[in-house]
Amino acid sequence: MSSHNQSRRSPGDTLLIDADDTLWENNIYFERAIASFISYLDHKVHTPAEVREHLNHCEHATIAAHGYGLRSFRRSLVNCFEQLSGCSVTDEEHQRILGFADCIAHHEIELLPDVAGTLADLSVRHRLILVTKGDPAEQTGKLERSGLASSFTAVEVLPEKHHDAYLALSAHHRCDAARTWMIGNSPRSDINPALRAGLHAIFIPHNFTWILEHEAVEQPPAGQNLLELQAFRQLLDHF
């Protein structure tokens, strides 16, 4: 076999794996919808960058009140439109704005390179649990359409991926922290809270990570490992 095997960990680890922008493209569709929204709004005073910034502000508020997912995204677009135009949206404007979000809902799942084969291989030796956040129906629907569901022994769709959520999840699935790794593209949701919960972490950056997920990667506490990989397939060098 390949030299990969020599540095691989022994079988039986638990790999907690993020979905959006780790297994498949996600944020690029939102960015496209937002670009369409900004040109539709065509604001006479605010620049596109200012509109984008105001939308971030609306998204923060909506997510805090209603959680992640497309329903919140639609609500944020409408709020942003009304706040910047200074009046309520008409029925026609409302339909147009919903249309931008609907493009995302109907998009084909586009897997990132080598994801399917890598997961199938990893699942032979390790326990794989999908750990994502957002609307449960949306996220499980994407997993079904992705064709990847059979590689996972469990699926967790959390309202927010913070430190307490990782502790609860680890307890629920009886994870041995010394043999459990959180793998994902988001420092804010995948890496830092998992490290704070005593787990190892593997950061696989994506070039188009959502701005609300940006955060500096923390250094792991003593005894915990943090790896940074450039591609999903490189997991096979370690597991």
Report the nearest approach of Mg ion to the CB of residue 203 (Å). 11
- Closest listed residue to residue 174, CA positions, set 202, 152, 151, 154: 154
Strands (E) in 21-172, as ranges, are: 127-133, 154-158
The span from the CA of 38 to the CA of 81, in Å, is 9
Report the nearest approach of Mg ion to the CB of residue 85 (Å). 32
Report the nearest approach of Mg ion to the CB of residue 189 (Å). 7
The footprint of Mg ion on residues 5-24 (CB under 5 A) is 18, 20-22
Long-range contacts, stretch 91-98, CB < 8 angstroms, 24+ apart = 96/40, 97/37, 97/40, 98/74
Report the nearest approach of Mg ion to the CB of residue 193 (Å). 13
Closest CB to Mg ion among 48 and 136?
136
Closest CB to Mg ion among 23 and 51?
23
The span from the CA of 78 to the CA of 98, in Å, is 8
User: 189 in the Ramachandran plot: left (φ > 0), alpha (ψ -120 to 50) or beta?
Assistant: alpha
Closest CB to Mg ion among 80 and 142?
142
Report the nearest approach of Mg ion to the CB of residue 182 (Å). 11
Contact 199, 181 (CB under 8 A): yes
The footprint of Mg ion on residues 200-219 (CB under 5 A) is none
Give the total of residues touching Mg ion (CB under 5 A).
6
Burial of 186 (0-12, 13-18, 19+ CB in 10 A): buried
Report the nearest approach of Mg ion to the CB of residue 132 (Å). 7
The footprint of Mg ion on residues 182-201 (CB under 5 A) is 185-186
In sign, the C-alpha dihedral spanning 188, 178, 15, 155 is: negative
Closest CB to Mg ion among 13 and 21?
21
Closest CB to Mg ion among 79 and 189?
189
Closest CB to Mg ion among 79 and 185?
185
Which residues in this chain contact Mg ion in the complex, by CB under 5 A?
18, 20-22, 185-186
